[in-house]
Amino acid sequence: MSGPLEGVRIIELAGIGPAPFAGMMLSDAGADIIRIDRSDRAEYPPRQGPHVDLMNRGRRSVAVDLKHPDGVALVLRLVGGADGLMEGFRPGVAERLGLGPDECLARNPRIAYGRMTGWGQDGPLASAAGHDIDYIALSGALDAIGREGERPLPPLNLVGDFGGGGMLLAFGMVAAILNARTTGRGQVVDAAMVDGAAALMTMTYTLRSAGIWKDARGTNLLDTGAHFYEVYETADGGFMGVGAIEGQFYAELMRGLGLGDEDRSAQMDRSTWPAMKERFTAIFKSKTRAEWEAVFAGTDACVAPVLSATEAPDHPHNKARGTFTEVAGVVQPAPAPRFGTTPGAIRRPPPNPGQHGDEALGEWGLPADEVAALRQSGAIR
């Protein structure tokens, strides 16, 4: 066991998407997390091999019936020895289960109570259903992503669910736990994906306020409006990502494309961008992706091959840094960020629901006979 959060104990009420991603980040950084899975998800006989959801890696699972009074009492007992609890239900669900902030803070006044939702705990949309695309739509992020004259393009579910959701919750949990250790007071962390997506747009709002960003998508510096910040197809159907913003990098890009003698002073003249993009398109189509990689190798032209999820783990840079790793036969992203003296680690593969009941509850202070009684009563499985 290692990581800067070693010794931090967190309870995770199982959910989907961004809340488990926050748990993954905290676990990779060393936190000891018990994942409370639904008892009806536990299989008997137990599933052989790890669970498929990589975002659940590193934790231990206890399958609890949260509609059983002994199940709720068990979670509250664990709360008494925890630094944090995270839940990803709609507003009011945890309260109806008897595991809301009031109950948990009464049991442990130092607890950091993390809540992951799309719309937040209050506001007109708080109780409405939604997904990543809805949250980034309302935050202003989705409207800015896409090419000129085309519909907005959803960037997978990276901006709302994981950047604006899971990472926001992980940051909030660490901040609240640190504050509790200083003040002795816990608090609720209201992590809403719409808030997080809006926060990720801060630089865009900076550029708008400076008058150098227009709401017309695909016409700006970073949204494929510029010819030097774009993706170009190669002769073999591959793609190269180009991001030569600064003048010195743009000069190297132009040299690599065979345009080194041209006047580069017009780089930021927006009226030239469409014509230059057409020229770049034709030039990149003249060589294969591998040939362009060779042209720009060792330069500061800010040009990189667009790799698939299959190719990325085998790129020499990613291999040298260990950006990807393999656990239980499954290739996956390695823990990030990296810590110099307390490196994080993937402690174990994703658990199957209920896999670690005896082990985890024992380490958190429950005697074996009490665990057996809870299983006998149906409170855990």
Q: What pLDDT, in 10s, does the model give residues 287-319?
A: 999 999 999 999 999 999 999 999 999 999 999
Q: What gap in Å lies between CA 360 and CA 372, rounded to an integer? A: 13
83's tokens: 């630094």
Q: What pLDDT, in 10s, does the model give residues 206-238?
A: 999 999 999 999 999 999 999 999 999 999 999
CA distances from 86 to 11, 20, 33, 80, 235 (A): 6, 9, 10, 14, 49
Local structure of 336: helix, strand or coil: coil
Structure-derived torsion over alpha carbons of residues 217, 218, 219, 222, reported in degrees to the nearest 10 = 100
Strands 84-87 and 112-117: parallel
Q: What pLDDT, in 10s, does the model give residues 31-89?
A: 999 999 999 988 877 777 889 999 999 999 999 999 999 999 999 999 999 999 999 99
Q: Give mean pLDDT, residues 3-18.
A: 95
Q: Give mean pLDDT, residues 127-136.
A: 97
Q: What gap in Å lies between CA 39 and CA 203, rounded to an integer? A: 44
The pLDDT assigned to 135 comes to 98
Residue 354 identity: G
Q: Is the pLDDT at 159 greater than 70, yes or no?
A: yes
Dump the DSSP string for 15-64.
-STHHHHHHHHHHHTT-EEEEEEEGGG--SSPPSS--S-GGGTT-EEEEE
DSSP β-bridge partners for residue 230: 242
322's tokens: 């260990």
Residue partners of 180: CB distance under 8 A and separation at least 6 = 83, 110, 111, 112, 186, 187
Q: What gap in Å lies between CA 135 and CA 148, rounded to an integer? A: 22
Q: pTM, whole model, 2 decimals?
A: 0.95
CA distances from 123 to 116, 189, 220, 293, 364 (A): 15, 16, 33, 50, 37
Which residues are marked as active site?
131, 161
The pLDDT assigned to 42 comes to 86
Residue 157 belongs to what H/E stretch? Answer: none
The pLDDT assigned to 69 comes to 97
Which has more confidence, 15 or 108? 108
Residue 351 is given by DSSP the state: P
The pLDDT assigned to 48 comes to 73
Q: Give mean pLDDT, residues 132-147.
A: 97
Q: Give mean pLDDT, residues 345-350.
A: 95
The pLDDT assigned to 127 comes to 95
Residue-range domains of the chain with CATH: 9-200+324-377 (3.40.50.10540), 229-306 (3.30.1540.10)
The pLDDT assigned to 187 comes to 98
Q: Is the pLDDT at 1 greater than 70, yes or no?
A: no
Q: How confident is the model at residue 197 (pLDDT cuts 50, 70, 90)?
A: very high
The pLDDT assigned to 181 comes to 97
Lowest mean pLDDT among 44-58, 233-247, 275-289, 358-372: 44-58
* pLDDT > 90 fraction of the chain, expressed in percent and rounded: 93
The pLDDT assigned to 124 comes to 98
Q: Is the pLDDT at 17 greater than 90, yes or no?
A: no
The pLDDT assigned to 261 comes to 81
Residue 359 belongs to what H/E stretch? Answer: helix 357-363
Q: Which of 164, 159, 131 is nearest to 144 (CA)?
A: 159
CA distances from 18 to 39, 198, 265 (A): 21, 16, 45
Q: Give mean pLDDT, residues 113-126.
A: 97
Q: What gap in Å lies between CA 144 and CA 112, rounded to an integer? A: 35
- Measured at the alpha carbon of residue 239, what is the angle toward residues 233 and 244, in degrees to the nearest 5? 95
Q: What gap in Å lies between CA 68 and CA 379, rounded to an integer? A: 6
Q: Is the pLDDT at 372 greater than 70, yes or no?
A: yes
Q: Give mean pLDDT, residues 313-327.
A: 98
Q: Which of 170, 148, 229 is nearest to 25 (CA)?
A: 170
Which residue matches tokens 């034709």?
A: 282
